[in-house]
């Protein structure tokens, strides 16, 4: 009798383990598929309009040029004007969402981004040394597109990226990227600004403790033109 | 004779001080009108009211037959004034100062006009030097040039000889004579240098504490028949007692420089002299004085607010 | 009055002290520009220290537009003294020199004389502002180039697009001119009460300093009178460098965040000018010239 029970338990654990392992292998496979799609793009140049949307920053929309070269060269260049970006650089590089090697992908269920059903996959690095501690991807399985990612970094906190796709969806290149971060409250002494008047309290309250966003709308991509490394220096 | 200036019941009150009190006088065309008074008598205040620098508390001023209040601009176009020490813009040259004030006087300042004017006051050779390099006398002359540049009919000079050396004073005196006799201007000159006024004034007004003491022509005021005796004696006290107990008690005037002063008609002098001698007064000297200064002292000492000796 | 105005302007520009003011402005601005040319990065880093903890700012912050803003902030505190040097001397200087009494015996109305003097001081003030614009804005643009204007207000940051900056400076300088004319009017008014220039000049600066303190301190009693003090409104030129954003937090190019503040401040300053000059005219017409 005892032996029968043990065998049943062993079978149960093995089934669970195998199915978890299989499932993990499924998530890994999904992530690799997405990676493979992204790797079709060796390099690209894109024109974009960038907006820094932080409650206590009033800024005009600026024109930017973005350069990417596989595997990890990325450059965001203003086309004139002054731009404000969260510290640590905005790695609005899709490739940065997915770690190159050494991660475990864990299924965290289903959700929706916009109206699109997505699978939530958590990526944990196997080694401790990297900048990324945890990356959560919201993957559109049907189109093999990352709709959203939440990345926790060692130095620069947690940021969120939401991607909207259009005509470059087949390359995994978004039309619009929304990069969200926590904006620390801002205050500067009046001794420096030489101001008398207090800003309206209602306006000040509106500016406290909100999330900041950087939004880039890409207007054109030029893909796989063989970019030189010199651009990224 | 046309009345150029007519002042009626002019009064100026500064808080508790009545600087000018119900003053009335008139200046006739062609007059050199001497305006006399001790320091603080109200001369400058009166002149400044004529020039609209000070607003009268009450009274009327009429110049050239027009009410000064109502026709200020037209009247001032015909007046040239030098007020005490004339100050001009030190950072400008004589020429530039004259040009500037000529424009303000309503005159088109041509180079010829300005240089002629500077020539007249003896500054043509220094026309383009800045005024800060000028002596007081030169500034005074420039002030007069400025006062005359628009060829005014009435010239008002308030203490024009202040700070001048004897030559400067003589120059001013000569200028006034030229203005009056040759250029037929009417001149009002205020001064406390009585001997200067005596030499040039045709009519005189003496004021004290803002009130008229006497006004009249020089001829009338300086009556040959009236004189002031200046007596030097051995014993002033006993001599004064003697005079006070005589018929001439009312003729006694305040002592001056330790000498006895008596105002007498000329024909009374011999009898007065005999009276003193008969009373045993030891006389060292007897001097007849006949000047504006003496008259001025006589009048202001006696504080006789005498009416106008009009002719 | 036109001829009288010409005479007053002639007198103002014949005096060496007038040119001292322009020289002082040139030196002041030159010093600021030199300092920022040499150590501008340190200054910008200092101002942005707190902000730079969370953000990285990319672009030419230290450009001509920014430099001009710094210059205006500093200079508009000191320029009132240079204006008072001329405006507060207008009547008292003449009285001191002894020329006032000659002036007033000329066939000109006292109102005309006073207004000509005031307008002359206004013209001087405007010329001084134009010189500040040339040295502070145009020269800075030449030396430092141009880019967007990055401004840190006490509660938020404003980045004005390069193409949207210049007209704002035109408006700011016009407003600054109005503010400085108010200072001129104050100095001019105080000039009536003295027969030397030092008194009114010192009095003008004292009034400005005291009123600035009242305008700055956040005390309930002072808050009652702040809206009526001209010093509170003198710095409203800064409102030209703030714009509205739409619901998507996008800058609305060509807009001003609080145009009503600008109008209100301009009105308060204009009322002060009318009061000061009106009082000066009224007093001058009654004044007995005793000096």
Size of chain C in residues? 291
Q: Would you say residue A2 has pLDDT above 80?
A: no
H or E element at residue C82: helix C64-87
| Subunits in contact with chain C (3 or more CB pairs closer than 8 Å) | A, B
Say if B90 falls within a structural domain. yes
Phi, psi of B5 (to 5 degrees): -125, 130
CA angle B9, B15, B17 (to 5 degrees): 60
Residues from chain A that touch C256, judged by Cβ atoms under 8 A, are none
Of C57, C61, C154, the CB nearest to A195: C154
- Select from B2, B79, B15, B26 the least CA-distant residue to B48: B79
Q: Determine the structural domain holding residue C165 and report its residue range.
A: 2-286
**What's the pLDDT score for residue C148?**
92
B90 and B230, same structural domain?
no
Each residue's pLDDT tens digit, C224-247: 888 999 999 999 999 999 999 888
- Select from B40, B36, B148 the least CA-distant residue to B86: B148
- A83–C55 C-beta distance less than 8 A: no
Query: What is the pLDDT of chain C when averaged over all its residues?
Result: 91
In chain C, pLDDT over 90 holds for what percent of residues?
66
* Chain C residue with Cα closest to B86: C98
Q: Are strands B186-191 and B154-158 parallel, antiparallel or unpaired?
A: parallel
The rounded distance, in Å, linking the Cα atoms of C54 and C174 is 36
Say if C190 falls within a structural domain. yes
DSSP one-letter string for B62-90: EETTEETTTSHHHHHTTEEEEESS----T
Say if C211 falls within a structural domain. yes
Of A56, A60, A183, the CB nearest to C155: A56
In chain A, pLDDT over 90 holds for what percent of residues?
8
Question: Domain holding B63: CATH number?
Answer: 3.40.50.300
CA angle B62, B64, B66 (to 5 degrees): 50
Total domains in the fold of chain B: 2
Q: Are B116 and C16 within 8 A, CB to CB?
A: no
Mutation target vs C (from A54, A59, A176, A179; most C CBs, 10 A cutoff): A59
Mean pLDDT, residues B271-288 taken together? 90
Q: Are B51 and B190 within 8 A, CB to CB?
A: no
Q: Does C220 touch chain B (CB under 8 A)?
A: no
In chain C, pLDDT over 70 holds for what percent of residues?
100
Total domains in the fold of chain C: 1
Of C4, C14, C103, the CB nearest to B91: C14
Q: Would you say residue A24 has pLDDT above 70?
A: no
| Subunits in contact with chain B (3 or more CB pairs closer than 8 Å) | C
The residue that leads in pLDDT, C291 or C16, is: C16
Residues 6 or more apart in contact with residue C2 via CB below 8 angstroms: none
Task: Residue window 14-73, chain C: list those with CB within 8 Å of chain B.
Answer: 14-16
**What's the pLDDT score for residue A87?**
72
**What's the pLDDT score for residue C210?**
93
Each residue's pLDDT tens digit, C116-169: 999 999 999 999 999 999 999 999 999 999 999 999 887 788 999 999 999 999
| Subunits in contact with chain A (3 or more CB pairs closer than 8 Å) | C
Residues from chain C that touch A198, judged by Cβ atoms under 8 A, are 154, 218
* Chain C residue with Cα closest to B93: C14
The rounded distance, in Å, linking the Cα atoms of C94 and C100 is 5
Q: Does C53 touch chain A (CB under 8 A)?
A: yes
**What's the pLDDT score for residue B157?**
92
Each residue's pLDDT tens digit, A65-122: 888 888 778 888 887 788 887 776 556 566 666 655 677 888 888 998 888 899 999 9
B47 and B20, same structural domain?
yes
The sheet carrying B259-265 orders its strands as: B252-256, B259-265, B226-233, B283-289
Q: Would you say residue B305 has pLDDT above 50?
A: no
B16 and B119, same structural domain?
yes
The residue that leads in pLDDT, A154 or C220, is: C220
- B81–C102 C-beta distance less than 8 A: yes
In chain B, pLDDT over 90 holds for what percent of residues?
46
Quote ipTM for the complex.
0.81
Beta-bridge mates of residue B8:
B60
Q: B47 is written with which tokens?
A: 């002149």
Residues from chain C that touch A54, judged by Cβ atoms under 8 A, are 249
The rounded distance, in Å, linking the Cα atoms of C23 and C242 is 32
Cβ-Cβ pairs closer than 8 A, B with C, add up to 74
Mutation target vs C (from A65, A187, A188, A201; most C CBs, 10 A cutoff): A188
Note the pTM of the prediction, 2 decimals. 0.80
Residues from chain C that touch B81, judged by Cβ atoms under 8 A, are 102, 105
**What's the pLDDT score for residue B114?**
93
pLDDT band, residue A211 (cuts 50/70/90): confident
Mean pLDDT, residues A130-144 taken together? 85
- A61–C251 C-beta distance less than 8 A: yes
The residue that leads in pLDDT, A2 or A118, is: A118
Q: Which residue is associated with the tokens 């008596």?
A: B262
The domain segmentation of chain A, as residue ranges, is: 2-232
Say if B301 falls within a structural domain. no
Q: Determine the structural domain holding residue B243 and report its residue range.
A: 226-290
Q: Does C281 touch chain B (CB under 8 A)?
A: no
B9 and B24, same structural domain?
yes
- B81–C105 C-beta distance less than 8 A: yes
Residues 6 or more apart in contact with residue A142 via CB below 8 angstroms: none
| Least confident interval from A6-20, B130-144, C58-72, C171-185 | A6-20
Q: Would you say residue C35 has pLDDT above 90?
A: yes
- Select from B58, B140, B70, B101 the least CA-distant residue to C104: B101
- B87–C99 C-beta distance less than 8 A: yes
**What's the pLDDT score for residue B302?**
55
**What's the pLDDT score for residue A207?**
55
| Least confident interval from A42-46, B187-191, C57-61 | C57-61
B130 and B231, same structural domain?
no
pLDDT band, residue C220 (cuts 50/70/90): confident
pLDDT band, residue B311 (cuts 50/70/90): very low
H or E element at residue B120: helix B111-120
Say if C228 falls within a structural domain. yes
The rounded distance, in Å, linking the Cα atoms of B275 and B210 is 40
B96 and B25, same structural domain?
yes
**What's the pLDDT score for residue B195?**
73
B275 and B230, same structural domain?
yes
- Select from C217, C207, C259 the least CA-distant residue to C236: C259
List C-alpha distances in Å: C212 to C82, C218, C236, C240.
Answer: 17, 12, 13, 21
Where would I find the H helices in C133-258?
139-144, 166-190, 198-216, 220-225, 230-234
CA distance C4 to chain A (A): 40
CA distance B14 to chain C (A): 10
Size of chain B in residues? 311
Q: Would you say residue A209 has pLDDT above 80?
A: no
CA distance B12 to chain C (A): 11
Domain boundary pick from B221, B236, B256: B221
Query: What is the pLDDT of chain A when averaged over all its residues?
Result: 78
The rounded distance, in Å, linking the Cα atoms of B179 and B157 is 12
B60 and B204, same structural domain?
yes
Beta-bridge mates of residue A85:
C56
pLDDT band, residue B188 (cuts 50/70/90): very high
Query: What is the pLDDT of chain B when averaged over all its residues?
Result: 86
Q: Are strands B79-83 and B154-158 parallel, antiparallel or unpaired?
A: parallel
Mean pLDDT, residues C23-28 taken together? 93
The rounded distance, in Å, linking the Cα atoms of C212 and C225 is 12
Q: Do A and B touch (≥3 CB pairs < 8 Å)?
A: no
Say if B306 falls within a structural domain. no
**What's the pLDDT score for residue C1?**
79
- Select from C112, C228, C241 the least CA-distant residue to C166: C241
Mean pLDDT, residues C185-200 taken together? 92
Give A2-232's CATH code, choosing from 2.50.20, 3.30.1360, 2.60.40, 2.40.50: 2.50.20
Q: Which residue is associated with the tokens 């009373």?
A: B279
Mutation target vs A (from C69, C154, C226, C235; most A CBs, 10 A cutoff): C154
**What's the pLDDT score for residue B146?**
93
User: Exposure of B254 by Cβ count < 10 A (0-12 exposed, 13-18 middle, 19+ buried)?
Assistant: exposed
CA distance A57 to chain C (A): 5
CA atoms within 13 A on the CB side of A10: 6
Report how many helices (DSSP H) and strands (DSSP E) chain B contains, helices first: 11, 14
């Amino acid at each position: 009798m005892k032996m029968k029970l043990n065998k049943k338990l062993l079978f149960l654990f093995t089934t669970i383990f195998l199915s978890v392992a299989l499932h993990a292998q499924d998530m890994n496979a999904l992530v690799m598929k997405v990676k493979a799609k992204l790797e079709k793009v060796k390099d690209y140049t894109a024109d974009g309009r960038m907006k820094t949307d932080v409650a206590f920053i009033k800024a005009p929309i600026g024109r930017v040029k973005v350069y990417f070269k596989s595997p990890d060269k990325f450059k965001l260049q203003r086309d004139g004007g002054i731009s404000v970006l969260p510290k640590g650089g905005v790695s609005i590089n899709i490739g940065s969402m997915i770690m190159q090697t050494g991660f475990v992908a864990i299924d965290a269920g289903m959700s929706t981004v916009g109206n699109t059903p997505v699978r939530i996959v958590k990526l944990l690095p196997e080694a401790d040394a990297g900048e990324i501690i945890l990356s959560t991807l919201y993957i559109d399985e049907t189109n093999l597109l990352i709709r959203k990612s939440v990345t926790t970094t060692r130095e620069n906190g947690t940021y969120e990226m939401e991607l909207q796709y259009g005509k470059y969806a087949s390359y995994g290149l978004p039309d619009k990227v929304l990069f969200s971060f926590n904006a620390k409250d801002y205050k500067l002494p009046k001794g420096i600004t030489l101001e008398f008047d207090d800003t309206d309290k209602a306006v000040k309250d509106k500016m406290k403790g909100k999330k900041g966003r950087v939004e880039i709308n890409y207007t054109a991509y030029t893909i796989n033109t063989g970019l030189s490394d010199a651009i990224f220096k | 004779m046309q009345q150029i200036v007519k002042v009626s019941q002019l009064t100026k009150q500064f808080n508790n001080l009545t600087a000018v009190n119900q003053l009335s006088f008139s200046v006739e065309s062609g007059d050199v009108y001497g305006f006399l008074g001790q320091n603080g008598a109200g001369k400058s205040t009166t002149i400044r009211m004529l020039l609209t620098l000070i607003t009268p508390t009450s009274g009327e001023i009429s110049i050239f037959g027009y009410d000064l209040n109502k026709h200020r601009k037209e009247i001032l176009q015909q007046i040239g004034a030098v007020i005490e020490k004339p100050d001009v813009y030190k950072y400008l040259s004589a020429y530039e100062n004259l040009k500037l004030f000529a424009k303000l006087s309503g005159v088109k300042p041509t180079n010829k006009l300005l240089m002629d004017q500077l020539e007249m006051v003896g500054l043509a050779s220094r026309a383009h030097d800045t005024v800060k390099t000028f002596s007081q006398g030169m500034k005074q002359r420039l002030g007069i040039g400025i006062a005359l540049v628009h060829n005014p009919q009435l010239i008002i000079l308030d203490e024009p000889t202040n700070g001048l050396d004897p030559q400067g004073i003589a120059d001013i005196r000569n200028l006034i004579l030229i203005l009056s006799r040759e250029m037929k201007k009417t001149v009002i000159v205020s001064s406390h240098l009585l001997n200067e006024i005596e030499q040039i004034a045709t009519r005189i007004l003496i004021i004290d504490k803002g009130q008229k003491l006497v006004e009249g022509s020089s001829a009338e005021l300086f009556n040959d028949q009236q004189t002031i005796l200046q007596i030097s004696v051995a014993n002033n006290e006993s001599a004064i007692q003697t005079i006070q107990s005589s018929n001439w008690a009312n003729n006694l005037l305040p002592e001056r420089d330790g000498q006895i002063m008596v105002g007498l008609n000329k024909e009374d002098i011999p009898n007065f002299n005999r009276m003193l001698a008969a009373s045993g007064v030891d006389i060292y000297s007897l001097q007849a004085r006949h000047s504006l200064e003496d008259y001025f002292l006589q009048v202001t000492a006696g504080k006789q607010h005498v009416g106008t000796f009009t002719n | 009055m036109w001829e009288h105005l010409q005479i007053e302007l002639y007198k103002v520009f014949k005096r060496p002290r007038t040119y001292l003011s322009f020289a002082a402005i040139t030196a002041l601005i030159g010093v600021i520009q030199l300092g920022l040319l040499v150590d501008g990065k340190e200054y910008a880093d200092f101002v942005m220290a707190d902000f730079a903890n969370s953000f990285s700012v990319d672009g030419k912050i230290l450009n001509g537009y920014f430099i001009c803003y710094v210059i205006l902030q500093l200079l508009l505190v000191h320029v009132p003294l240079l204006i008072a040097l001329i405006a507060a001397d207008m009547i008292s200087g003449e009285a001191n020199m002894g020329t006032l009494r000659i002036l007033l015996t000329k066939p000109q109305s006292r109102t005309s004389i006073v207004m000509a003097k005031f307008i002359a001081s206004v013209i001087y003030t405007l010329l001084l502002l134009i010189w500040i614009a040339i040295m502070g804005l145009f020269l800075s643009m030449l030396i430092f180039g141009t880019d967007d204007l990055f401004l840190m207000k006490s509660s938020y940051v404003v980045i004005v697009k390069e193409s949207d900056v210049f007209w704002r400076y035109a408006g700011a300088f016009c407003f600054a001119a109005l503010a400085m004319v108010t200072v001129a009017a104050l100095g001019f008014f105080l000039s009536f009460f003295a027969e030397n220039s030092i008194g009114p000049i010192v009095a003008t600066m004292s009034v400005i300093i005291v009123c600035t303190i009242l305008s700055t301190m956040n005390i309930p009693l002072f808050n009652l009178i702040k809206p009526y003090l001209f010093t509170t409104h003198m710095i409203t030129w800064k409102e030209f460098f703030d714009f509205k954003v739409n619901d998507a937090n996008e800058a609305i190019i060509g807009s001003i965040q609080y145009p009503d503040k600008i109008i209100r401040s301009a009105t308060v300053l204009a009322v002060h000018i009318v009061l000061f000059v009106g009082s000066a005219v009224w007093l001058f017409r009654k004044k007995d010239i005793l000096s």
